[in-house]
């Protein structure tokens, strides 16, 4: 970045805001030259494309290194050594992006050529980094050049002045690429897969969905997921709210809060082991707390995690509620502190008791936070995987959608079923997110 700093002064003579200043049009000749050049390149590439047949013995063309070779080289280093190396590499890439963003929108011949070069070189480089190409090199060049040309042209013609779009794309490209690759494409692929059989070769229509609702594992995963999403948010929020109200303005509030909040920092794997100690069942003297209590009162020890129907699922829910209550408590506590004290005092003067004040002043005052907490925990409980995987492994009808789909895919290699389960889960989450997004849009409009 020192680079940027040293070069700034000479440029400051140029109007700094490209989209407000009258933009310096490159002369008509330059424009023609560029368009003609691009056309020639494209034509040459096209001719090459149809004339040269694919040749398998073609010499691989590569930069000498690729992402793959980089990761392989790093893979043989000590994990602790990998951390600084990858962060430095990543930092360099980001620095390059920032320098481009800084220089691109400036007016002037040099910056014009800089944009042009960047538009063409970056896509080619990016594709070359992915692999050493053999006969596909020509394809790669075409794709890269077309993308680059489109970007450059759109940018050049952009209403806010050349460079504006270029900037925007550079800012967004990393996130957009990752999201498209890692979330949007997989979602589409999974929905597609859910209509095909185990190995994604034969179209089976809705058969996978019938399987979800008729097979015992599929059926129980749906039922249990519904139980989770109904019970977990309600109880976490209720307990969290009660606790937040009880300790509001109490002495040592901070410490009392962190006690309940602490489980949030613990992994579900850790939580699973912690709670195994509570639910343990064995012959002789009980080591698990719950059975110790039961036997102390003269009862018979119970194998809690095998107890059906639904008892074991509810016990897993307890673990989840244990981890989520802190979240609800912290947010609701902050919301309670945001309720205007005047309202409380006014209600007090009216002679209301604590419960009435809570019902009629506090709860309406924190309504939006309550909704956020409820929906957030609901989404979390829909996606739950770890607790079930660690504590029961889906035994004794404790499976849920999020667990069963990984189970189907890892243990049975049954991709169709797994995809159908994922889509059902997706449909469950859908209304919650639509609701949240709507809420958010409303708030943004108010702003």
- Residue list 42-61, contact with another protein (CB under 8 A): none
Minimal distance in Å, beta carbon 94 to another protein?
6
Q: Compute the CA torsion angle 218, 181, 84, 126 (nearest 10 deg).
A: 160
For helices 109-130 and 28-51, the axis angle rounded to 10 degrees is: 20
Task: Give the Å distances, CA to CA, from 335 to 43, 131, 331, 363, 436.
Answer: 64, 52, 6, 10, 18
Determine which residue in the list 222, 315, 373, 378 makes contact with another protein, applying CB under 8 A.
373
Determine which residue in the list 97, 310, 339, 396 makes contact with another protein, applying CB under 8 A.
97
| Cα 135 to Cα 140: distance, rounded to the nearest angstrom | 10
Q: Which residue number, 32 or 282, has a Cβ lying nearer to another protein?
A: 282
Q: Which residue number, 36 or 89, has a Cβ lying nearer to another protein?
A: 89
Minimal distance in Å, beta carbon 309 to another protein?
25
CB 396 within 8 A of CB 325: no
Q: Which stretch binds another protein (CB under 8 A): 26-34, 114-122, 230-238, 374-382?
A: 374-382
Q: Look at residues 363, 307, 308 and name the one whose alpha carbon lies nearest to residue 335.
A: 363
Q: Look at residues 345, 376, 414 and name the one whose alpha carbon lies nearest to residue 197.
A: 414
Minimal distance in Å, beta carbon 273 to another protein?
4
Is 359 a binding residue for another protein by CB under 8 A? The answer is no
Is 31 a binding residue for another protein by CB under 8 A? The answer is no
Cβ atoms < 10 Å from Cβ of 166: 24
x/- map, 297-336, another protein, by CB under 8 A: -------------------------x--xxx--xx--xx-
Q: Which residue number, 185 or 210, has a Cβ lying nearer to another protein?
A: 185
For 398, the token pair is: 């404790």
Q: Which residue number, 34 or 301, has a Cβ lying nearer to another protein?
A: 301
Which residues inside 163-222 make contact with another protein, applying CB under 8 A?
167-168, 171-172, 174-176, 178-179, 181-187, 189-190, 193
| Cα 238 to Cα 231: distance, rounded to the nearest angstrom | 11
Is 82 a binding residue for another protein by CB under 8 A? The answer is yes
Q: Which residue number, 25 or 410, has a Cβ lying nearer to another protein?
A: 410
Q: Please state whether the peptide bond connecting residue 229 to the residue before it is cis, i.e. omega within 30 degrees of 0.
A: no
Which residues inside 404-433 make contact with another protein, applying CB under 8 A?
405-406, 409-410, 415, 418-419, 422-423, 425-426, 429-430, 433
Is 162 a binding residue for another protein by CB under 8 A? The answer is no
Which residues inside 229-248 make contact with another protein, applying CB under 8 A?
239, 242-243, 245-248
Task: Give the Å distances, CA to CA, from 95 to 67, 91, 120, 350, 380.
Answer: 19, 6, 19, 62, 36
The residue count for binding another protein (CB under 8 A) is 143
Q: Look at residues 398, 380, 402 and name the one whose alpha carbon lies nearest to residue 232.
A: 380
Minimal distance in Å, beta carbon 202 to another protein?
18
Minimal distance in Å, beta carbon 37 to another protein?
26
| HSE-CB for 314 with a 13 A CA cutoff | 7
| Cα 224 to Cα 7: distance, rounded to the nearest angstrom | 62
Is 372 a binding residue for another protein by CB under 8 A? The answer is yes
CA end-to-end distance (rounded Å), the chain:
35
Minimal distance in Å, beta carbon 210 to another protein?
20
| Cα 321 to Cα 240: distance, rounded to the nearest angstrom | 10
Which residues inside 257-276 make contact with another protein, applying CB under 8 A?
258-270, 272-276
């Amino acid at each position: 970045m020192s680079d940027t700093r040293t070069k700034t002064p000479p440029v400051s003579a140029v109007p700094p805001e490209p989209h407000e200043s009258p933009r310096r049009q490159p002369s008509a000749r330059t424009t023609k030259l560029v368009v003609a050049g691009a056309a020639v390149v494209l034509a040459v590439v096209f001719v090459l494309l149809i004339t040269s047949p694919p040749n398998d013995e073609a010499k691989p063309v590569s930069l000498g290194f690729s992402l793959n070779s980089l990761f392989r080289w790093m893979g043989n280093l000590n994990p602790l050594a990998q951390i600084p190396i990858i962060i430095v590499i990543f930092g360099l890439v980001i620095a390059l992006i920032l320098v481009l963003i800084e220089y691109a929108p400036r007016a002037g011949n040099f910056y014009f050529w800089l944009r042009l070069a960047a538009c063409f070189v970056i896509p080619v480089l990016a594709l070359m980094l992915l692999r050493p190409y053999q006969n596909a090199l020509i394809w790669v060049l075409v794709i890269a050049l077309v993308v680059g040309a489109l970007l450059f042209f759109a940018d050049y013609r952009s209403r806010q002045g050349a460079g504006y779009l270029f900037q925007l794309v550079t800012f967004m490209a990393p996130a957009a690429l990752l999201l498209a690759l890692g979330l949007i494409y997989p979602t589409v692929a999974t929905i597609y897969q859910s209509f095909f059989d185990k190995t994604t070769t034969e179209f089976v229509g809705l058969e996978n969905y019938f399987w979800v609702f008729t097979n015992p594992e599929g059926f129980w995963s749906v039922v249990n997921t519904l139980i989770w999403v109904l019970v977990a948010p309600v109880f976490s929020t209720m307990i969290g709210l009660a606790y937040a109200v009880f300790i509001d303005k109490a002495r040592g509030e901070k410490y009392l809060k962190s006690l309940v909040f602490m489980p949030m920092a613990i992994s579900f794997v850790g939580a699973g082991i912690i709670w195994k100690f509570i639910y343990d069942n064995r012959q002789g003297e009980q080591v698990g707390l719950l059975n110790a209590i039961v036997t102390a009162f003269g009862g018979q020890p119970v194998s809690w995690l095998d107890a059906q129907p639904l008892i074991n699922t509810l016990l897993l829910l307890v673990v989840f509620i244990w981890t989520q209550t802190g979240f609800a408590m912290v947010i609701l506590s902050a919301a309670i502190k945001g309720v205007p004290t005047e309202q409380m005092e006014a209600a007090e003067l009216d002679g209301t008791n604590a419960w009435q004040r809570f019902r009629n002043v506090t709860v309406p005052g924190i309504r939006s936070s309550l909704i956020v907490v409820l929906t957030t925990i609901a989404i979390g409980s829909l996606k739950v995987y770890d607790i079930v995987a660690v504590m029961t492994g889906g035994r004794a009808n404790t499976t849920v959608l999020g667990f069963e789909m990984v189970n189907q895919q890892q243990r049975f290699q049954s991709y169709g079923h797994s995809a159908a389960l994922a889509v059902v889960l997706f449909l469950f989450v859908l209304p919650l997110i639509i609701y949240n997004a709507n809420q958010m849009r409303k708030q943004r409009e108010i702003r």
